[in-house]
Amino acid sequence: MKLRLFAIVLLVALSAAVAQAQQPPPAAVAPSAVMAGQPAGTMMLTIFLRHDQSKNLDQINAQAKANGFDRIFPPPGVEVVSWYVMMGIGQVVVVRFPAEKLREVNRAVEVGGWGAYRTDFYPTYDYKPVWEAEQKKRAAETK
């Protein structure tokens, strides 16, 4: 039941993010601010490494190690932007890489992570610079 509720909440959040992503950036924000620090041709990807709850943590780690996950992920040229543990779910990894490395990232997770984790992939972008610009704009308008 909790997993079903989480999935519904996640779908609603993703739907809102997709709707927001379809809107152009605010006029006060330069296009370069949308992709601040991200060269052209790069992409970000959020990967959910969901723990297989039929296994305990030692079994999950042993399976990932046996698969060589720690050796092959991330592939060369792939930057780990963040890597968090989400209690009750597993791990959430955000990576940045040249778009042509997408297959390598996918293969590293398929070869190294499957059996230890169930995986979900979400294209991602850095919204923080846009949000910060909006905050500054609102603060200036209230003065």
CA 34 → CA 6, 22, 43, 89, 141, distances in Å? 29, 13, 13, 30, 21
- The structural domains of the chain, ordered by start, are 2-141 (3.30.70.920)
**What residues pair up with 47 in beta bridges, in sequence order?**
93, 121
Report the interhelical angle of 57-67 vs 102-113 (nearest 10°).
120
- Report the alpha-carbon distance of residue 34 to residue 42 in Å, rounded: 13
Tens digit of each residue's pLDDT, the chain (143 residues): 655 655 555 554 555 544 444 554 444 434 444 455 567 789 999 999 999 889 999 999 999 999 999 999 999 999 999 999 999 899 999 999 999 999 999 999 999 999 999 999 999 988 988 999 999 999 998 87
> Coil, helix or strand for 50?
strand
